[in-house]
Structure formats: C-alpha cells, structure tokens
Amino acid sequence: MSKNLTSRAEDYSKWYNELVVKADLAENSGVRGCMVIKPYGFAIWEKMQAQLDKMFKETGHENAYFPLFIPKSYLSKEASHVEGFAKECAVVTHYRLKNAEDGSGIVVDEDAKLEEELIVRPTSETIIWDTYRRWIQSYRDLPLLINQWANVVRWEMRTRLFLRTAEFLWQEGHTAHATKDEAMQEAEQMMHVYAEFAEEFMAVPVIKGTKTESERFAGAIETFCIEALMQDGKALQAGTSHFLGQNFAKAFDVKFANKEGKQDYVWATSWGVSTRLMGALIMTHSDDKGLVLPPKLAPIQVVIVPIYRGQEQLDVISEKVNPLVKELRSKGISVKFDSRDTHKPGFKFNEYELKGVPVRLAIGQRDIENGTFEVARRDTFEKQSVPADEVVERVISLMDEIQKNIYKKALDHRASHITEVDSYEEFKKVLEEKGGFISAHWDGTMETEDKIKEETKATIRCIPIDVKEVVGECIVTGKPSPYRVLFAKAY
C-alpha cells in the first residue's frame, strides 16, 4: 500500500480516512460499523486513559463496573432518555445457537428466547441508577462519585473510524448528590477537567459552554460541553458533562434521608469522553505527511535511525546510541532505536513522519566523525546538527516546545476561524467560504435553530460559559437576543 496520503486540500475526508489506516491507528472490521483499534492507535488511547483516570481520581472519583446488558424495561423508565436511544439499540433476543436440522450450518436456537430482551448499553444511566437505589439510603452515602471505563454500542447507520462507530470505548462518570447545587458544580467541574485534559495533553484548544435544549443529552437538564475546531473548519464535540436533575432518581426511585431525616430524591450528573477524542487529536494537528502527535501522548516520543552500510558501521553507531537510549529512558522519555536492516533510512523517515513521532534523531558516518546527531522535529520539519553531549537536553526541551507549538498553532487557527456576523446573509457566506465558529445573535427558539440547521447544516455548538451579555437581534427573525452563541457545521 502506498504511504502517500491524499492531501488535505484535495479531500479532507479522504485524507483523514487514509491517515487513520496508514498510520496503523484503526481499521474497519468484518462487523458493520465496528472498528479494530490497532496497537499503535491503542497505545495513544491508553495514554489518554491513564491521564484522564488520574484526573478523575484526583477529583475524588472511583472506578467500578456495571453490566453490558440493560433490560429493555429499564431503558423505558426515563421517557426522554428512551426516546433518544431506542432507535440505535442492539438487542439481544436469544442465548443459544444450534446446528440447523437441514445441515445448513449453525442457527439461532429459537427455543432459547430470552424472557425479557436485553439492550447492549448505549450509555449506562439506567442500569447504574437501578443499582444506586440499593446503595443510597442516607446523606452519609452521598456524594457517590463513580466512573466506568467501558464499551458502548449505538447502532449508527453511517460510521467513520473513531468519529462515529457502532461500538466505541469511553468512560462514563455517574455521580449522585444531596443537593442541586452540588450536582451542578460537579457537572461543571468535569467540563473543566475535560478542557484541561484536551488543552494540556492533547494540545487541542476547546471552547467550554452549555448546549441548547435541542442539543442536550437525552434526559439532561443542562449539558456542558467542550467544542474543538478541526482544520477543515468543522467543529467537533470533544466531551460532555450533564446535570441530570432528579430525572433518573425519580425514574428509579432513588431517595435518601437528609440530615433532618426527610426523604428526598437524589441529584445526578453523568459525563463522558470517548475514542472520538482520537479523531479530534488526528484532525487538529496532522498534516499531509501524516500524523502529528503531542509529545505528552506519543507512544514513541523519540525515534533514532542509524544511517549505515554493513554490520561494522552499525556496531560503531550502536556504541554511540545505546548509552543515549538509556539516558533518555532514565528521564522518562520513550525511545525507539530502529536498526532494522530490512528497510532503508528514507523508508523509516517516512514511516515515523506518518506515525507522528515528535522527534527523530539520525546518526551516520559524518555524525560519528563530528560527534553529533541530526535532530529533526516532526511539527516544523526543522533539522539541526546537535553535539552528542547536548542531545538529551535538546530532546527534553523539544518535548515541551513541540507540545506548546502545536497547541499555539491550533489556537491561532481557531482564533482566525471565529467570525462575528450580524446578518443571515453574512452567516451563510462565512459558513460557505471559510467555515469555523460563527458567533451570532439568536432568538432562543428551537424553531429558529431548526430552520438554520435545515438551511445551512450549521448547529449551535454552544453558549460559551464566558459569554458576554450584549443585547442584539436574532440574525434570522430580528427578535431580541441577550448574547451571541456559537454556530458551526460539526462532526
């Protein structure tokens, strides 16, 4: 398979699909809509998981595990929740196969029909709140701060690797609180945790905000979100955190005795990020040569490629490289020394560019003579000859420089793609010609939102949390509007 990618300018969508496969991140499986996450892609996801898990624990959360299956009747208990998910549920109806009597192979054993069909969880609010009823009696049992790492299934008709797959991996936090305020604070806190993770680790700038009613999670009173902007000017919802009010507590009858001994329904939140973040990571930083990874999430941070002819020369090079590898590792940097004799240096250079390794060191005959390494950074393609005894220091500072540089690049891109408009004409023109976030006045009605969506495919991504109250007129209806909201076409 050719390592050359379609360019982003030519076809952004095709570029993305090719990159995911060629950089060994993921591929489609034989099961409709379900992906295989390949080792290199999974290693990035593991780094994300480890950091997020640390941040969840630092904010007082514990992990637990709830069943994959949800009895159909549970899903129906919260009305708007079932409405949101029923149309994309995988349903288990039988529990046994048998040999077909006509010898045509194995078939479902119709005698082994389940009494109640089971849904493969699309999200776990219902099974978890059914459990919380047993765990919560008194205010002493609150807050209950739990997270689960799990696979979930939503039967999507159109799927794309990482961005929208029938099965995906995620974490889902589910917390229970004694008061409305505390639950609201939790939901808001987790939006901030997600934003910090996206910006500090993924180097992806995000806008924090709340969703409009029509974009809210099915069953939520308020949905907080972080929205990122991709290179093609489309937005991507990177994480959501929901204040669920007492909806699930009422649906599953979860009450607690407060300090005064009075019974009250519990207040809830849920929040999640998924393997979709991989899509955001890829589309924020990568270029026509391949992946660009932030050093904090790169499985291989430094690759060392020897340029040599014959074993003897490799031995000389290895003598210089081996202590360097050891020292870099002792500093916590992950290093790969690729001395394979089956591939040429040029092939390896391309491969590690494609895979987004932040720093490449090369060493050949001339470097041996000069006591240097060639240090190349992936983000800017800059190359430098660095004295051997300064390489460790240079690599360490590059980790930081690259992390900051790609963040800044993404931030600049976003800054130049937020446009304030004051008319629907201008709105459509900017959307068409430039894309990005469009900041505009809106009359607050679902009708106007729907009309804009139908006519332009743009949706309200969020009402930013730091929104300024500046009265204006809705770009569509001219009705009064208290502040601007952010529109965009979105993944």
Position 415 contacts its own copies (CB under 8 A): no
Q: Is 268:177 a contact under the CB 8 Å cutoff?
A: yes
Nearer to its own copies, 27 or 443 (CB): 27
Question: Which residues in the 168-227 window bind its own copies by CB under 8 A?
Answer: 169
The pair phi, psi for residue 471, each rounded to 5°, is -65, 140
Of 7, 14, 60, 87, the residue at the interface with its own copies (CB under 8 A) is: 87
Neighbours of 51 (CB within 10 A): 16
Using the CB atoms, write b or e for 239-255: b if 16+ within 10 Å: bbbbbbbbbbbebbebb
Site map (CB under 8 A) of its own copies, residues 356-385, x = contact = ------------------------------
CA 241, chain centre distance (Å): 14
Rg of the Cα atoms in the chain: 26
Tokens standing for 345? 């240096």
Kindly state the smallest distance separating residue 46's Cβ from its own copies, in Å: 6
Does 43 contact its own copies by CB under 8 A? yes
Q: Which is nearer to its own copies, 153 or 363 (CB)?
A: 153
Which of 12, 17, 51, 67: binder of its own copies (CB under 8 A)? Answer: 67
SS3 325: helix
Smallest separation, CB 38 to its own copies (Å): 6
For residue 239, give the nearest of 206, 272, 205, 211 by alpha carbon.
272
333 belongs to the binding site for its own copies (CB under 8 A): no
* Shortest distance (Å) from residue 263 CB to its own copies: 19
Least Å distance, CB 217 to its own copies, is 18
CB closer to its own copies out of 31 and 470: 31
Instruction: Pick one of 54, 65, 384, 429: the residue that binds its own copies (CB under 8 A).
Output: 65
User: Could you tell me where the DSSP H helices lie in 359-445?
Assistant: 365-370, 391-415, 424-433
Q: Judged by CB under 8 A, does residue 325 bind its own copies?
A: no
∠ CA 234-52-295 to the nearest 5 degrees? 70
Is residue 431 a contact point for its own copies (CB under 8 A)?
Answer: no
Q: Exposed, middle or buried by CB within 10 Å (0-12, 13-18, 19+), for 341?
A: exposed
Instruction: Please give the torsion angle defined by the CA atoms of residues 222, 167, 122 and 232, in that order, rounded to the nearest 10 degrees.
Output: 20
**Residue whose CB is less far from its own copies, 303 or 440:** 303
* C-alpha 229, offset from chain centre: 13
Q: Which is nearer to its own copies, 35 or 203 (CB)?
A: 35
CA–CA gap between residue 190 and residue 59 (Å, rounded): 9
Please say which residue, 76 or 477, places its beta carbon nearer to its own copies. Answer: 76
Instruction: Identify which of 463, 464, 457, 451 has the alpha carbon closest to the alpha carbon of residue 489.
Output: 457
Q: What are phi and psi of 330, to 5 degrees?
A: -65, -20
- Pick the closer one to its own copies by CB: 53 or 473: 53
User: CB 266 → its own copies: shortest distance, Å?
Assistant: 17
Q: Which of 6, 29, 246, 456 binds its own copies (CB under 8 A)?
A: 29
CB of 445 to its own copies, least distance (A): 27
Is residue 167 involved in binding its own copies (CB under 8 A)? yes
DSSP 94: E
Q: Which is nearer to its own copies, 63 or 423 (CB)?
A: 63
Token representation of residue 16: 């993305």
CB of 90 to its own copies, least distance (A): 5
Q: What is the DSSP letter of 230?
A: -
Which of 77, 414 has the CB closer to its own copies?
77
| By CB under 8 A, residue 89 contacts its own copies | yes
- Compose the 98-137 pattern: x for residues touching its own copies by CB under 8 A, - for all others: x------xxxx--------xxxx------x--xx--x---
The residues near 415 (Cβ < 8 Å, ≥ 6 apart) are none
Helix (H) or strand (E) holding 322: helix 310-330
The site for its own copies (CB under 8 A) is made up of 27, 29-31, 34-39, 42-43, 45-46, 62-76, 82, 86-98, 105-108, 117-120, 127, 130-131, 134, 140, 146, 150-151, 153, 155, 167, 169, 342
